[in-house]
Amino acid sequence: MADVLGGYLLDLRSHEHGALDATDPEELHDFRVALRRARSVLWGGHRTFPAEELELFEALVVWLARLTSSARDLDVMAQDLPGLLDQLPEGARRRGVGGLQRELADRQAQAHADLEAAMRGARYPVLLRRWESLASGTVVGGGPPGPDADRPAGQVVARVLKKSLKKARKSGAVALASDDRGDWHRLRKDLKRFRYLLSGFEALYPPGAAKPVERELADLQDVLGKLQDRHVQATLVEQAGLAAGGRSALVAGALSDRLRRAEDKSHHKCHRAFREFDRSDVRAELSDLLA
């Protein structure tokens, strides 16, 4: 687990400059992926890493992940906005678009400024030092490693993967029953954690054994991701329109309406996508893989 965590630290540092530079949105995306992958290992390693070290590091990772989330959401919004505006009637596109674009651009710039200030502040170096400490397997704090630290990796990882998959399936059942958007978002996060754990510890399994399952996961996450993207973008547009006011608010209202309808369409697809993933042959593949 320390080795995998150390690999994610190298990934993070390789995209650090790009995340600060903010000229290529994919650099921040890759920076965020390294953070999320690390969080999946921390979730799985609560019985392996020293508890005190783990608690502090988790808090630091959550802090940074929240800052990157705002910047990333607005980066995606900026990329998608021209295409979304093209879908509006000609008259609506001519009036108030500029004000909405400026408001969103200002929010994007502020989110990146907040992220840069945080990464150049005192807390970010502490996060890196704690990460290096856990990745090296040494204990800097006052507590000993967890009870799983001396157990064979295969046994520990198999249990963690089974626990993660069980949690995702439970979240899927809840989402199907409640049909609440928040429950679908939780399912997306649980599935993403399982996918990151599976790919992170793939070397413990026969070459290529996890690929069919990873493809099934990727297809499901694509559908769930579109649902979340439309929900976030509608919220961002509504907030920016309210702040800009005037005709920009009218444009934002028309755009939000289209995004909410697209969100509803994605929502309907989620039912079929999860049932497709949770079918018996995929369950059998996962059972064989994790046995």
In terms of domains, do 91 and 227 share one? no
Instruction: Give yes or no: residues 237 and 247 share one domain.
Output: yes
Instruction: Give the containing element (helix H, strand E) for 94.
Output: helix 90-94
Quote the number of domains for the chain: 2
Query: Is the predicted pLDDT of residue 111 greater than 90, yes or no?
Result: yes
Range of the domain at 78: 1-151
Proportion of the chain above pLDDT 90, given as a percent: 69
Q: Please, which pLDDT band fits residue 102 given cuts at 50, 70 and 90?
A: very high
Instruction: Produce one character per residue of 185-223: b if its CB has 16 or more CB atoms within 10 Å, e if not.
Output: bbbbebbbbbbbbbbbbbeebeeeebeebeebbeebbeb
Confidence band for 92, pLDDT divided at 50, 70 and 90 = low
% pLDDT > 70, the chain: 97
> Does one domain contain both 158 and 215?
yes
Q: Are residues 284 and 170 in the same domain?
A: yes
What tokens were used for 142? 């006052």
pLDDT above 70 (res 35):
yes
Q: How far from 203 is each of 143, 208, 210, CA to CA, in Å?
A: 29, 9, 10
Q: Which amino acid is at 220?
A: L
Asked if 156 and 48 touch (Cβ cutoff 8 Å), the reply is: yes
Residue 254 belongs to a domain with what CATH number? 1.40.20.10
Of 120, 151, 182, which residue is a domain's last? 151
Higher pLDDT, 241 or 89: 241
Residue 264: both structure tokens together: 């509803």
Strand, helix or coil for residue 192: helix
Say if residue 250's pLDDT is above 70: yes
Q: Are 130 and 57 in contact (CB under 8 A)?
A: yes
pLDDT tens digits along 156-212: 999 999 999 999 999 999 999 988 889 999 999 999 999 999 999 999 988 888 888
Same domain assignment for residues 189 and 133: no
Q: What is the pLDDT, as a whole number, of residue 281?
A: 87
Q: What is the pLDDT of residue 11?
A: 97
Same-domain pairing of 173 and 258: yes
- Please say if the pLDDT value at position 239 is more than 90: yes
Whether 163 and 258 share a structural domain: yes
Assign 141 a pLDDT band (cuts: 50, 70, 90): low
Q: List CB contacts of 68: < 8 A, sequence separation 6 or more.
A: 19, 28, 31, 32, 35, 115
Question: Same domain, yes or no, for 52 and 180?
Answer: no
The residue-averaged pLDDT of 110-124 equals 96
Same domain, yes or no: 106 and 187:
no
Using 50, 70 and 90 to split pLDDT, how confident is the model at 91?
low
**pLDDT tens digit sequence for 212-230:** 888 888 889 999 999 999 9
Asked if the model's pLDDT at residue 73 lies above 80, the reply is: yes
What helix, strand, coil percent values describe the chain, rounded to 5? 85, 0, 15
The DSSP symbol for 205 reads S
